[in-house]
Structure 1
Amino acid sequence: MAVLKVTFTKTTRGKLALVLWVLNWISVLTGIILFSLGLFLKVEIQKRKELMSADVHSVPNMLIATGLVACVINFLGGKICYDCVDTTKFLRWKLLMLPYIVCTFLFTFCILVGALMCYSMRNELEESLFLGLRNAMLYYKDTGTPGRCYLKRTVDLLQIQFQCCGNAGFRDWFHVQWINNRWLDMTNSEVTDRLRSNVEGKYLMDGVPFSCCNTFSPRPCIQTQVTNNSAHYNYDWKTEERNLWTRGCRQVLLDHYTNIMQSIGFIVLIIWLFELWVLTGVRYLQTAMENLLRQGDPDLESDGWLLENSIAQTARSNFKIIKNLGKCYQVDDDPNIDVPSTAQQEVSTCQIPVAR
């Protein structure tokens, strides 16, 4: 029994073909949208690749590839649907219709995968940002080292633009040396004592870079001796954290990218539903046109369906086809495997002794 069978007249078949022709051209535009969204996300990630430890371009690459495929498939689908208005023109596409529908189904499935990847990328991105920001803070002081000299500027711009400080918070700067040794006064006993007190010989202090300063603070920024109340007038560092940005840059960047990916994922889901609708219409058009050809009269009504048999029967038949394809490659099933060749038969005949 056919699944979701619908009967089409000559007029409705023509209207369905024209509507699908228009929808396929709209789908070309949705493919361009997918490509643009993937390109936008790739550029956004590329802007701060120095702050990420791993390659997280799988989602934008998926969207870019899917968008390009969408343009090609839907352009071809528009041509096919337009020719389906005329029965004679449909004959040239008859053999390609089923492979086209299978490819469109796989492409539609890829769109769904791309949408789900947008929502599942958060954990991977968080780990990449955590390690990337940690390394950027460690190399913040290396302004004279090739390959690292740009990290100070990158981190400062990040903290100013996103109003954040450190990896998880401003206290992260207390555990790294962010001042280059060439700016330290080695004749100062306090500096040498700090260097000697650390096992790794680092100059650690309770201070943060200037980019951590909260521009909305009611008092001048306190970026050195942050935890020393006596070093500043009327100051309690536990209650005056508003003097510095309190949010960590990892969480801020994670929220920034999460909002972008959730918005992209929502748009991709809408595109997936639209493509699924177009695919359903193309399947109805294909089955209706094939049944019309069997009848031989282009003016008659014809039935269209999603599946010719039930879902269970279709699954069983497809499984048998796959199973038979596997048997075709088994040598043991060759009926002539034990039959001697003609040359062997002739040799055996010659070896038979002749009676005298």
Structure 2
Amino acid sequence: MCLGAGDITQTAEELGERLRRLSKDGLEPRKESGGDARLIKRSHLLFGAVRGRVLLEEPLARHTTLKIGGPAQVWIEPQDLEDLKQVLALAGKESLPVTIFGFGSNLLVPDEGIRGVVVCLASSYFREIRPEEGGILARAGAPNALFIQYALEQGFGGFEFLSGIPGNIGGSVAMNAGSHGESIDSLVRRVRVMSFNGEERWLERSEVPFRYRSSGIREAVIVEALFSLPRIDRRKVREKLEEYREHRSKTQDLQHPSAGCMFKNPGIPGSSSGRLIEEAGLKGKRIGHAQISTKHGNFIVNCGGATAKDVLLLMEEARKAVKEKFDIELETEVKVL
């Protein structure tokens, strides 16, 4: 699995199946199979040659902006590109599932965690940003905030819409992140990817099937991207960044952990998922320790101790209420594992 590297839309049927499994399994601790136990015991031997960090049963709630999620069986932070290639080769040889984990935003991790290997491009190598070919090259692990700061220092603009979107460059390209009517595909010149068999290639912008909140890149890891940005007066860029910051402060709940917008906006002029959820009377609705934000209807916040099941139940309730009142089917924007 390449997390966020494909179409992140999920249907009501898929979410319904996820809820049915939760209802059946409850919230009991994950029971390890014999294969799971063997993986834990063998992991240091299996991944001993990996130069990056290897952790066992790492709680994923530590790595998500929603602060929800059970453990990753094996969490690996490759040191560099060759290390990543080796991790993928080892996992492939053992037929282990691989999940590529980004910044942990726009993501709901199950309470039982993730089996197999979770790879996070968090090393200093994958956070590098540098000028190249008259633009900026940023590796997948570079945080959006760092990219914005660097681009501003270099005298570039056009990236202001990324302000306030928690995430990193790899995830932002994978999901074609955007706001205020703009998205990152407008800045991309080329994307470098690595397939799960270790093959690398550059994709030109025209080869990437970008669409709303998706890059369409499948079965590959985004490792870096080259961006073309216009030269804009820094004062004007700072003014727009401040304008967007004030807008977020007024309209979004920044006091509680969240995954950002839970649903895509429907393609109806003048309509938004947040407004539809609010008009359906669900603003402030709470299940367990998860709540539909009182400030933004398309945000679900963790009030402290919320579970993935709490969030899924709220999402399903919002979907049903909007369908019943407006006959509009909300599409999931957040990635539900």
Q: TM bucket by the smaller chain?
A: under 0.3
TM-score for both structures, normalised by structure 1: 0.17
More strand by share: 2
TM-score for both structures, normalised by structure 2: 0.18
More helix by share: 1
Q: Which has the higher contact order (CA 8 A, sep 6+)?
A: 1
Q: Which has the larger radius of gyration?
A: 1
